[in-house]
Structure 1
Amino acid sequence: MATRAAPVFDDLQHASRDALAAEQLHRLKWSVRHAHENVSHFRAACAARGVAPGDLKQLSDLALFPFARKGDFREHYPFGMFAVPQDRVARIHASSGTTGKPTIVGYTQGDLDRWADLVARSLLAAGARPGDVLHNAYGYGLFTGGLGLHDGGQKAGLAVVPASGGQTERQVQLIVDLKPRVIACTPSYMLVLAEALERAGVDPRATALRIGIHGAEPWSDEMRREIEARMGTAALDIYGLSEVMGPGVAMERVDARGALTLWEDHFYPEIVSPETGEPVPDGTRGELVLTTLTKEAVPLIRYRTGDLSTLLPAVEGSPMRRLERLLGRTDDMLIVRGVNLFPRQIEELILDHPALAPHYRIDVRRDGPMDHLSITVEALAGVDDDACAGARAVLGHRIKDRLGLSAEVVIAVAGAVARSEGKARRVFDHRPR
């Protein structure tokens, strides 16, 4: 039986850098004008800054325009950021809100088609091929991960198993019986599935899985090595965020690992200083700012993602620049006794120790005027008390040596740290706001 044909995308993936830049400017002018004409908040922000769409004559002129922020969605809830009438909105998604109100985003049918194209492009770049079975364990519903990967998988010619999140034992059965070659889920849930396979007496490396598409939370190179060692897969990073589109904004190519190719024909990137908002040169770490170039329902100009990364050169044969794998988010950063700390830095130290499992939590409390940092991490099954004591001492020393912080380290038994079926929650900050 013949396999389905892979989709054909535009030629910009293989265009020259000059040709890509020319198309970016053309699309950028449209997006800025579209937002200015149809989103009153953006029009007012431009007026306050003294700029108008006509001021955009070259790509560098984008820096003249105001930033968009997540708070704008809350202030203009639910539909104030939309640029099309409701009869053109084909789907609505939402991300969780910190004040009780979710962030509402919408898509025209054209937006959904382009989104499916970009996710399909991402899957093919990861090594998936038409006819593969994709086990999609991202949550379906308002979260963009499930339906985003589903539509893109179908567009790429894959047979999609809509497993969604949860029912882990059932997912084990599906993985064993349906023999998917590709799996999509958060990296933390991939390790939950590895444990469940082992409990069921199945060697995770003996399944048909060969490609893992993992995103929606920052994860370290050490966690990647852990997943690959236990599952026998190529664990690849996918990036996206609900406000901009969803998964498929950037993808780690199987032939260019270590950074993610950003699909610059649809998203124009900047890196700015988190403190000042001023653009920094390529190769400098800072906050990622994205401008949508083709989004109809909710165009975003200079959206501050809160994600910390570095813009890197394109690989040979592609005009599109790459993103360093995310260090974390600006709002994930903890300041403990004056030291800036990201959960990923703790994770790297944990997974560098052979007696420790990749399941941990970070608690921060305030005792009087002092912050108190506590790390609870599981020991691997079968590790004895002496080895646990040694691991506790080593991890505490490494945190002090590498990060400049003293921390209480608690080594827990296997299974003691709560598992997540979606995005893992690592940090519990108990300090008064």
Structure 2
Amino acid sequence: MRVLSGLRRGETLPREELRELQLVRLKALLARVYERVPFYRRKMDEAGVKPEDIRSLEDIRHLPFTTKEDLRENYPFGLFAVPLKDVVRLHASSGTTGKPTVVGYTRRDLNLWAELVARIVRMAGVGRGDVAQICFSYALFTGGFGLHAGLERVGATVIPAAAGNTERHVRLMQDFGTTVLVGTPSYILHIAEVARQMGVDPRCLRVRKALCGAEPWSEGMRAEIERVWGIEAYDNYGLSEIIGPGVAGECLERRGLHINEDHFLVEVVNPETGEPLPVGEKGELVFTTLTKEALPLIRYRTRDLSRLLPDPCPCGRTTIRMERVMGRTDDMLIIRGVNVFPSQIEEVLTGIPGLAPHYQIIVDRKGYLDELEIQVELAQEGFTGSYEDLESLEETVRHRLQSVLSITPKVKLLEYGSLTRSTGKAKRVIDRRRGGEG
């Protein structure tokens, strides 16, 4: 058992006391949004629910959901619960598929955000004396700013290196003695590639931990990061609409991500019916923000698929944990009537020796039939076997994917470095049936 020192009270409250706190905060939230946000007042009136009707946490199921489409339809500030003069920071999504979703923060929201990120940073064993290099964008995306504030709060030295210019990242690590990398799993792997191209062994740098987020990743991807860097990699979870990073993170036990439940009420629902599921069943994560001022959200549907882990954690925290995100409902591909998630494919590929963790999923339609092609790179050390060995590896990949997906994909083995690397979220899927990337 690794009981950590310095735990905050909100992380160790007895479960009954925590639930009482959540209910008090939920009631205050509902009264406030009903009064200040016309959208929620209208939605609750249409559902025939008043704030005073919510007498228990279970009653939350009577409240309507909030979706990303609701934020877009109320663009830019229609869901804010405070006047714009009280908003000190704005962030937004890219808006590549329509109007962006806009999120705002009051001064108190920013302080809360920094403290919640500080929690997940401490969970991973990062603090004073660490030199943290942030490889996230510092634009409207929340990741860079959120981790930056939380890392400073725990006393770490922060290098706001941002994304891109990967060779500079390597030089900064050498010159500044970086001990913690912060970025997407795919980009952290790419930095290791570039380091080797520069003649630098990533394992010989001072980096000891990576804080990874902003994209789904498998245990196989974690294992590859830890192998090439010689470090420990920790998962963290957040989304801009809820607050940004800081919603949940892994402790040193790495048995799921602790959710900051004193500030977020979590549910898992059936993604098709919206009905709440029992604890432990896989479904869509739904969050209610209990303490945010500028943009409080009620029952926000994340589209992220996971399940809750209620068993006590040896670290001493009492907050419920979530399993790492298994995929998204809007990432799911339906191919010949079969549901396929990119995370399933990644888990298979990263478990096969001889392959690199770089792949592309291509879906096309020939005539009336869907076709699935998996392009995956060979490992960096290169393929030194015969043509027959190459065919055997390709067949192994095809067979293992078929056993997991229940459909037989085409498999194309590529030379290492063939696929485009991304400095942000990796683009894994090209769905030509709809003429774009997923």
With the shorter chain as reference, the TM-score category is: over 0.9
Q: Distance between the aligned counterparts of 1:55 and 1:232, measured in 2? A: 54
Q: CA contact under 8 A between 1:137 and 1:163: conserved in structure 2?
A: yes
Partner of 2:262: 265
Q: CA contact under 8 A between 2:344 and 2:404: conserved in structure 1?
A: no
Counting only pairs closer than 5 Å after superposition, residues 156-305 of structure 1 correspond to structure 2 as 156-254=154-252, 256-305=253-302
- 1:213-259 per-position Cα deviation (integer Å, ceiling 9, x unaligned): 001110000000000011111111010000000011000111x2131
Q: Distance between the aligned counterparts of 2:34 and 2:351, measured in 1? A: 50
Q: CA contact under 8 A between 2:127 and 2:151: conserved in structure 1?
A: no
Which of residues 116, 119, 133 is equivalent to 1:118? 116
Of residues 284-293 and 24-33 in structure 1, the stretch that sits farther from structure 2 once superposed is 24-33
Which 5+ residue runs of structure 1 have no aligned equivalent? 1-6
Deviation at 1:272, TM superposition (A): 0.4
- 1:317-363 per-position Cα deviation (integer Å, ceiling 9, x unaligned): 22210001110110011111111111111111111111110111001
Letter in 2 for 1:61: D
Counting only pairs closer than 5 Å after superposition, residues 22-33 of structure 1 correspond to structure 2 as 22-33=20-31
Q: Distance between the aligned counterparts of 2:9 and 2:213, measured in 1? A: 27
Q: Distance between the aligned counterparts of 1:165 and 1:358, measured in 2? A: 20
Partner of 1:90: 88
Counting only pairs closer than 5 Å after superposition, residues 44-63 of structure 1 correspond to structure 2 as 44-63=42-61
- 1:287-344 per-position Cα deviation (integer Å, ceiling 9, x unaligned): 0000001000000000000000001114142221000111011001111111111111
Deviation at 1:388, TM superposition (A): 2.9
Q: CA contact under 8 A between 2:360 and 2:430: conserved in structure 1?
A: yes
- 1:67-118 per-position Cα deviation (integer Å, ceiling 9, x unaligned): 0000001111111111100000010001123533211010001000000001
Q: Secondary structure at the match of 2:255?
A: strand
Letter in 2 for 1:221: E
Q: Distance between the aligned counterparts of 1:271 and 1:257, measured in 2? A: 21
Q: Distance between the aligned counterparts of 1:393 and 1:377, measured in 2? A: 13
Letter in 2 for 1:79: F
Deviation at 1:166, TM superposition (A): 0.1
* Residues 1:272 and 1:237: Cα distance change in structure 2 (over 3 Å): same
Deviation at 1:9, TM superposition (A): 7.4
Q: CA contact under 8 A between 2:306 and 2:322: conserved in structure 1?
A: yes
Letter in 2 for 1:207: L
Q: Distance between the aligned counterparts of 2:405 and 2:235, measured in 1? A: 26
Q: CA contact under 8 A between 2:264 and 2:287: conserved in structure 1?
A: yes
Letter in 1 for 2:354: A
TM-score, normalization: structure 2? 0.95
Partner of 1:4: none
Q: Distance between the aligned counterparts of 2:351 and 2:9, measured in 1? A: 42
Deviation at 1:392, TM superposition (A): 1.2
Q: Identity over aligned residues, as a percent? A: 50
Instruction: Determine if the alignment matches structure 1 residue 153 to structure 2 residue 151.
Output: yes
Q: CA contact under 8 A between 1:258 and 1:325: conserved in structure 2?
A: no
Of residues 176-185 and 308-317 in structure 1, the stretch that sits farther from structure 2 once superposed is 308-317
Letter in 2 for 1:272: V
Q: In angstroms, what is the RMSD of aligned CA positions?
A: 1.4
Q: Distance between the aligned counterparts of 1:347 and 1:279, measured in 2? A: 29
Partner of 1:424: 426
Q: Secondary structure at the match of 2:407?
A: coil
Q: CA contact under 8 A between 1:355 and 1:388: conserved in structure 2?
A: no
Which of residues 115, 125, 136 is equivalent to 2:134? 136
Which 5+ residue runs of structure 2 have no aligned equivalent? none
TM-score, normalization: structure 1? 0.96
Partner of 1:3: none
Deviation at 1:176, TM superposition (A): 1.3
